[in-house]
Amino acid sequence: MKKILMITLLLLGLGTQGLASAEEMVELPEGCEDKGLNIILCPIAEDVSMDDAVDSMKLRANGLNFKLVAHMPLSEQVISMGEPSKRMEIFQFCDALIAKRMVEHNMIFAGFLPCRIAMVEDKDGKAWLITLNMDAMLKGTNLPGNLKSLGLQVRNSIYSIIQAGVEGDL
């Protein structure tokens, strides 16, 4: 189980911002909660459009030197196949240098790359951002100090990107 958690950390996208202490921990916006399976669901603010949430996440990621390495507009694919679909997209972020270090430590981390944030419109039209619970992942790992700090950087970067999307922080 610990190996799986360590791998998840790596795949969650690895940023290069320096983080040192609990005082510097990025907090998720109010309303975010773990709904089980170590998955965090965050409601996008009512006054933030899904497009503004996406633009805000991309802008924040860029500012953190966290690259958007993949975007999968799944609902577009479903619609092109003749099925109606609410909006559903997957965004994948990564810092290649941190990913490299984690994989060098243990190649199983490659199975979690890159970090994902899903944007899903529920049946009522409410927009959500969904990602792995990075706190649970960090608590469940046994990484050496230098890699633990990189894991904290990833955690803070992903949570900051979520925060920007939820709040429409353009």
Which pLDDT tens digits describe the chain residue by residue (170 residues)?
333 333 333 344 333 333 334 447 899 999 999 988 999 999 999 999 999 999 999 999 999 999 999 999 999 999 999 999 999 999 999 999 999 998 898 887 787 778 899 999 999 999 999 998 988 877 777 788 888 899 899 999 999 999 999 999 88
**Cα(131)–Cα(169) distance, rounded to whole angstroms?**
18
Q: Say which residues have a Cβ less than 8 Å from residue 43's Cβ, sequence separation at least 6.
A: 31, 32, 126, 127, 128, 166
Residue type, 119: M
Three-state DSSP class for 49?
coil
Fold of 2-15+26-167: TATA-Binding Protein (3.30.310)
Helix (H, G, I), strand (E, B), or coil: what is residue 148?
helix
Three-class SS state of 130: strand
Structure tokens at 155: 């955690």
**Phi, psi (5° rounding) for residue 116?**
-120, 145
Whether the pTM exceeds 0.85: the reply is no
End-to-end CA distance of the chain: 38
DSSP 60-109: HHHHTT-EEEEEE-HHHHHHHTT-----EEEEEEE-HHHHHHHHHH-GGG
**Residue 155 · residue 138 · CB < 8 Å:** yes
Q: Look at the chain and count its residues.
A: 170
